[in-house]
Structure 1
Amino acid sequence: MFESLGLSEQNLAVYRALLKHPELVRTSMAGELSRAVGLSVEEVTEQVAQLRILGLLVPRWNIDDEDYPLHPADGFELLTKRRQQEIDQLSARLDSDRVAAGEFVASYSEFLVEKSIGGVEVHEGERAYQRMQHFHPAKSVWGMVSPDPGGIMRDPKNTADSRFLEHGIKLRYLIVEAQLKVGETREFCANVQQFGAEVRVVPSVPLRMVIFDAEAVVVGIDPDNRSPGAMVHHSRSVVRIAIDLYEHYWRRARPYSTAPPADAGEITGQESEFLRFLVQGATDEQVARKLGVSMRTVRRMAAKLSEQVGASGRFELGVRAAQRGWVD
């Protein structure tokens, strides 16, 4: 009761006792006041001091060094006016802070979308994720998802994916085949397909990329590491190259579903991509990273294909794979 006026229960108990027995305010009668309110002498002394601060105990004009309790009508009016004044001051500061916060947000938003020379934005670390929130596509979003050991953890129902689809935005996802081993990735693919998105699977992708409305493309600063951040390209030439690259991989990809078994004597898309990297001179570590698989899987793949074509080494495997038309 009366907490909004800054008056605690103990304040009120001592104030009520003093209104009934004003003489108990005297220091010499602190013991009696203590017994009257059920508090220790030290607690009573503290409460009396607080009542003076609140203005509910005021000095007598005719007796030095003695106080008396202010009439409740006057006392509560005093507390109410004081609290209203504090509220008015807080409200004024709140209005001022709200204006300042709006200016801060506007300034920060301008900072996030500020373009450097050549139509390229560079956003380091977490700023890259913050920048992504400022895209409002009207037609399409194309995503090329690079291998990630943790899979895709987003729930499309709680992200921009569902909002985009609800507004008729065309969504495409290119998923690396190795990612389908992660349960969250399979669940994500199934969910976005239910919302109307298109999902295709490829053995590998060259980098992580998102294209918005065929007008802006977001790529990682480092294709093998998300931590450094991302770049946003607005240049028409760069965007056109990104679209051509995406379309190239999209045509090669298969629709998301259970991977079909390879026919006898044939190879999977992942194995074909392994051979392509092998012929290009990639190391096992580079192949594993690009395919999103372990080194053990790469070596097992190499052994299987070598046995399948009768090759005794990596170079011979590349030659015989080319002879069979498995690599260009």
Structure 2
Amino acid sequence: MLDRLGISAGIEAVYWAMVEHPTWNVDELATSLDVPETVVHDAFSTLADQALITPSPGQEGTLRSVSLRLGLLALLHQAEQQTITQQAKLLAARASVLAHAASHDTHRGREEIVRLEGADTVWERLTEHACTASESVMTLTTGRAMPPGTIETARTLTRIALSRGVTIRHIYQECTLDDARSRAHAELMAEQGEQSRVMSEAPVRMTVVDRKFALIPIGPGPRRGALEIRGSSLVSTLCLLFDLLWEKSREFPRSANTDRDGLNDQTVAILRLLRQGRTDEAIGRQLQLSERTVRRIVRDLMRRLDAKSRFQAGVEVALRRWI
């Protein structure tokens, strides 16, 4: 049954045996399933990564299966997210291909696709939109970081649009917010009225104005310019893509409340899961963070604790009674 969710038959057999016999140890599981103990241990590793088993709070050093309902729902959610991501990528690819094809189609009305050459031309056009938009601006930002010049210009244009009562919805790719300057910008814009969300993978950079105009970059960087799509079915496709991603993305993580040790709720949750022996991947899945973000937070904690290993960090956390 679980093979459709990425769990092999051998690992599934171990899982169901744990569900039916929660007190069995490795030896008993291996004997019952007629497999070597190494197979059971390997299955434990996979099941822990999938958050289907967890350390038993009552018996140190032992594992137990999580609630059957919660475990299977977590697997289904992961499969659904992968499907949604793939669907979003296909929609983005379709819109990009059609836009570029249309820009070279001499039989199509030239007013539908306009090529904006260079970053200055793009920003001038975005300024016009900020000053004339009547309803909404939807933006999808990708990449490792927002360039400083882009941040300053985006900040100005966002304030102009917000001051005119325009609704701004912005989806940030998670890795973009790993950059301190980009995150500070996103937090400031959220405080000033921008509706912000985050997703682990964003398929394409774009800005859609009033659901009538869409700008998508010509290349990976802003220097080459952008294609502006006007009032065509391509804009509708991009709007559909954005709405889909908006529904499946998560709320922008505002600055969390910190305790007297300077720990926010997210950091405390990561520390608790680390003490349970969870991997970065399993922690990210449970807290809806990317593995990269979890690694960054753990690395910052180790630096703060002056710890050379995770074990040493765990000892320091216990000594300081952080959790």
Q: TM-score, normalised by structure 1?
A: 0.43
Which protein shows a greater Rg?
Answer: 1
Q: TM-score, normalised by structure 2?
A: 0.44
Higher relative contact order (CA 8 A, sep 6+): 2
